[in-house]
Amino acid sequence: MVRKVREHISQNEGLIFERSSAGKYAYQLPEAQVPEIDPAAALGADAVRPEIPDFPEVSEVEVVRHFTRLSTWNYGIDHGMYPLGSCTMKYNAKINEYVARLEGIAGEHPYQPEALAQGCLKIMKLLQDYLIEITGMDAITLQPAAGAHGELTGCLLIRAYLQSQGNPRTKILIPDSAHGTNPATAVIAGYEVEAIRSNSKGCLDLEALHNAVSEDVAALMVTNPNTLGIFEENIAKAAEILHAKGAQLYMDGANMNALVAMARPGDFGVDVMHLNLHKTFSTPHGGGGPGAGPVAVKKHLEPFLPVPVVEDDGKGGWKLNHKRKQSIGRVRAYVGNFGVLVRALAYTMANGRDGLRQTTLDAVLNSNYIRAKLADLYDLAYSGPTLHECVFNDKRQLTSGVRTGDIAKRLIDYGFHPYTVSFPLIAAGAMMIEPTETESKEELDLFIAAMRDIAGECATQPELVKNAPQSTRVTRMDEVAAARKPVLRWKSH
């Protein structure tokens, strides 16, 4: 058994009050060399409060250890592996944070005159040039604040372009293997959505696509590699089908972690795409904080990019162009989340071309290593080759009444964050695993051992798995009751 291989987490930390003992001090100072005064007399009675009843009396080391242990209750990438498929929870290199905190970068005001912001503008221009080269596109905007925001920006660019051609069209096609944000974004942009089925290989069905493309279709939004981790082998033919009918090909670039320095979307017919900098370029991810979802386009969409656009000022420097007649307008305050962009540039430059290529190869290798080591115990949703992530299902474990969510919760007992549960929807009972290039073979082996142990438990002790997690502060929740009778407001008694 490899249970509790992650002993960095303390689940049973008590209250600081329970550690209190009268007379303990967190510090010790010599007697004061100045006369003692009455605080109320010096500050006024209203500014002084009495002693706090039952305030804990503890030593410094007890305070430090208590709050350090509490900090482990928030699982993070600095604690261990995040095997979340599709979300690409890669490690954020510390060099990124160092560069973003440099005084001349972190302290710059967003409304600073361009003449005093040449370094910041150069950072943006350099990142733009790198991302254009990586994607094979012609132009880019760094403004969007997240991947889904980038999708919306891309849809608005497509609408503006088609409107300039005389017809914005009404419909966007979306494969059943796409990310869930794609149909939501299309609807927000004002389009109707039509799903396109995948074939038996888990790829886009070209015949279904051909039959669906009409004069009303504005674009196809395709995730490539798709959410099964499979590269769309007929993507260039799909582009030809769309372009023949005047439609655009939008690529959700969330899975570019599997393509960087190996394949360029612009080379296989993509017209517009977004990049999730947190997924591919090692910037902070999640928590509702700042993000970035740059949108790259081919030349015919470039006039419609959001303003301002970083341009050569003709004097050896850079300027922001706010006056572009066909622009869809600003989609984010200032120039986007600049600190995130700095981190992405630091990551790109630290790796270089060869390093970025190696991260892609390592991501694919790590995923396929896990796939090969677990394929005898868990069924694969699709048997074809996969890249940076692999998708199993719970078909074999269902014979014991164990589902994908049960296995994910049991992983918590082994000290790992769960994989992505029940997604993509195209695969029933999906277990979606993506280790990224970050993880070492030793870490992967621990995860594999945990998954293999759990598979054994599913066969011999299914109730143990169905009641997981066992070792957490809060154990198995009644999910049915939580869904049917949610408690949305806390009432103190």
Question: What gap in Å lies between CA 245 and CA 219, rounded to an integer?
Answer: 10
Most confident of 51-55, 225-229, 489-493: 225-229
Percent of the chain with pLDDT over 70: 96
- The H or E element spanning position 121 is helix 118-135
Q: Give the per-residue pLDDT at 4.
A: 46
Nearby residues of 86 by Cβ (< 8 Å), 6 or more positions away: 179, 227, 254, 255, 389, 420, 423, 424, 432, 434
Report the DSSP pairing between strands 192-196 and 272-275. unpaired
DSSP letter for 398, please.
Answer: G
What is the band of 175 on the pLDDT scale with cuts at 50, 70, 90? very high
Q: Give the per-residue pLDDT at 288.
A: 61
Residue 126 pLDDT exceeds 80:
yes
- pLDDT tens digits along 357-388: 999 999 999 999 999 999 999 999 999 999 99
Q: For 421-434, what is the mean pLDDT?
A: 95
Question: What gap in Å lies between CA 98 and CA 81, rounded to an integer?
Answer: 23
Question: What gap in Å lies between CA 85 and CA 404, rounded to an integer?
Answer: 14
Q: Which residues of 253-286 are buried (b: 16+ CB within 10 A; e: fewer)?
A: bbbbbbbbbebbbbebbbbbbbbbbbbbbbbbbe
Provide the angle, in degrees to the nearest 10, between the axes of the packed helices 441-460 and 338-374: 50
Q: Give the per-residue pLDDT at 53.
A: 82
Q: Where exactly are the structural domains of the chain?
A: 16-71, 94-349, 357-483
Q: Give the per-residue pLDDT at 493.
A: 44
Report the DSSP pairing between strands 430-433 and 248-253. unpaired
- pLDDT tens digits along 3-50: 444 444 556 788 899 889 988 888 888 888 898 899 999 999 999 988
Residue with tokens 């095997």: 83
Q: Give the per-residue pLDDT at 489.
A: 77
Centroid of chain to Cα 329: 26
Q: Give the per-residue pLDDT at 287.
A: 60
Q: For 402-421, what is the mean pLDDT?
A: 96
Residue with tokens 């939004």: 221
Nearby residues of 140 by Cβ (< 8 Å), 6 or more positions away: 128, 131, 132, 294, 295, 296, 297, 305
Strand partners of residue 249: 220
Q: What are phi and psi of 410, to 5 degrees?
A: -65, -30
Question: What gap in Å lies between CA 329 and CA 332, rounded to an integer?
Answer: 9
Provide the sign of the torsion angle of the four alpha carbons 409, 414, 417, 423, taken in this order.
negative
Question: What gap in Å lies between CA 232 and CA 241, rounded to an integer?
Answer: 15
Residue 462 pLDDT exceeds 50:
yes
What is the band of 290 on the pLDDT scale with cuts at 50, 70, 90? confident
- CATH placement of domain 94-349: 3.40.640.10
Residue 402 pLDDT exceeds 60:
yes
- pLDDT tens digits along 251-281: 999 999 999 999 999 999 999 999 999 999 9
Q: For 419-439, what is the mean pLDDT?
A: 95
Least confident residue range of 300-304, 434-438, 466-470, 483-487: 483-487
Q: Give the per-residue pLDDT at 69.
A: 85
Q: Give the per-residue pLDDT at 13.
A: 80
Tokens of 265: 């979307």
Total H helices, total E strands in the chain = 15, 13
Question: What gap in Å lies between CA 158 and CA 219, rounded to an integer?
Answer: 8
Q: For 72-82, what is the mean pLDDT?
A: 84
Using DSSP's 3-state secondary structure scheme, residue 273 falls into strand
Angular region, 166: left φ>0, alpha ψ -120 to 50, beta rest: left
- Sort 148 into a burial class: Cβ within 10 Å, 0-12 / 13-18 / 19+: buried
CATH superfamily, region 357-483 = Aspartate Aminotransferase, domain 1 (3.90.1150.10)
pTM over 0.85: yes
Question: What gap in Å lies between CA 485 and CA 493, rounded to an integer?
Answer: 20
Q: For 433-456, what is the mean pLDDT?
A: 96
Nearby residues of 468 by Cβ (< 8 Å), 6 or more positions away: 406, 409, 410, 412, 413, 476
DSSP 345-390: HHHHHHHHHHHHHHHHHHHHHHHHHHHHHHTTTSEES--S--SS-E
Question: What gap in Å lies between CA 88 and CA 90, rounded to an integer?
Answer: 6
